[in-house]
């Protein structure tokens, strides 16, 4: 009984140590995120809301025809897909529904349309804690993602963990190095002057350390996103976040 209480206390302390990238952003950037009228990510959300209600594909169905409520959905992705035998991200689930349920073609990765739909779904979970599960068959993929996070890569021989664990809170090129939690994606990044996915951020980081980036929608990216999602458990969904 005592060890269970101790373990529970450790979990609470670990959760308290987590910092959203919002906390490391400048006051001006936080103000932009806080005001829906000023948050540029809502331009994509509005597009996603339109697409959500639009009937498309051979089935002539809209997302809204099947899904009456999507509150809390984004907070639990990535999830293990039993039929595919692997984890999939929220964006991949949207693509799956388009192809299999609507009879429509898949959207291009990181296209405005896919970002808009993903951001619209994410917004419905804003303020809810992330609750990504790594139980059962998801566990090996979580372990694979954790290994990727900790593996040194590229000509700079750096791992994700070296920056986002070891150097979090310090500065790189004038910006605070965040803990790397994905609770705001898709998010509007000032450096991009546009909306982007977590996959894009990961690929950019790999290019930054001069490593060969994973292909779009690769299993490795889904594994890494599963680990990152679990690592952020307890933080609130902030979609659409604004970051430097």
**Would you name the residues annotated as active-site residues?**
205
Q: Which of 234, 178, 41 is nearest to 122 (CA)?
A: 41
91/101 Cα distance (integer angstroms)? 15
What is the three-state SS of the chain? CHHHHHHHHHHHHHHHHCCCHHHHCCHHHHHHHHCCCCCCCHHHHHHHHHHHCCCECCCCECHHHHCCCCCCCHHHCCEEECCCCEEECHHHHHHHHHHHHHCCCCCCCCCHHHHHHHHHHHHCCCCCECCCCCCHHHHHHHHHHHHHHHCCECCCCECHHHHHHHCCCCEECCEECCCCCCCCCCEEECCCCEEECHHHHHHHHHHHCCCCCCCCCCHHHHHHHHHHHHHCCCCECCCCCEEC
Query: 201-227: buried (b, 16+ CB within 10 Å) or exposed (e) per residue?
Result: bbbebbeebebebbeeeeeebbbbbbb
């Amino acid at each position: 009984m005592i060890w269970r209480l101790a373990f529970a206390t450790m979990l609470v302390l670990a959760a308290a140590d987590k910092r959203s990238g919002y906390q490391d952003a400048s006051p001006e950037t936080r103000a932009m995120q806080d005001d829906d009228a000023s948050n540029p990510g809502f331009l994509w959300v509005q597009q996603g809301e339109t697409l959500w209600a639009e009937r498309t594909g051979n089935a002539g169905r809209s997302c809204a025809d099947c899904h009456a409520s999507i509150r809390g959905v984004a907070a639990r992705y990535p999830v293990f897909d039993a039929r595919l035998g692997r984890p999939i991200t929220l964006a991949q689930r949207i693509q799956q529904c388009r192809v299999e349920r609507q009879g429509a073609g898949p959207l291009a990765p990181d296209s405005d349309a896919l970002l808009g739909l993903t951001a619209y779904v994410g917004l419905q979970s804003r303020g809810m804690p992330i609750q990504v599960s790594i139980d059962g068959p998801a566990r090996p993929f979580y372990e694979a993602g954790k290994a990727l996070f900790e593996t040194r890569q590229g000509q700079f021989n750096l791992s994700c963990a070296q920056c986002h664990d070891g150097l979090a809170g310090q500065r790189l090129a004038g910006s605070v190095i965040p803990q790397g939690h994905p609770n705001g994606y898709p998010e509007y990044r000032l450096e991009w002057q546009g909306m982007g996915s977590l996959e894009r951020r990961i690929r950019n980081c790999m290019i930054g350390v001069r490593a060969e980036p994973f292909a779009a929608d690769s299993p490795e990216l889904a594994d890494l996103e599963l680990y990152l999602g679990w690592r952020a458990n307890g933080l609130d969904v902030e979609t659409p976040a604004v970051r430097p």
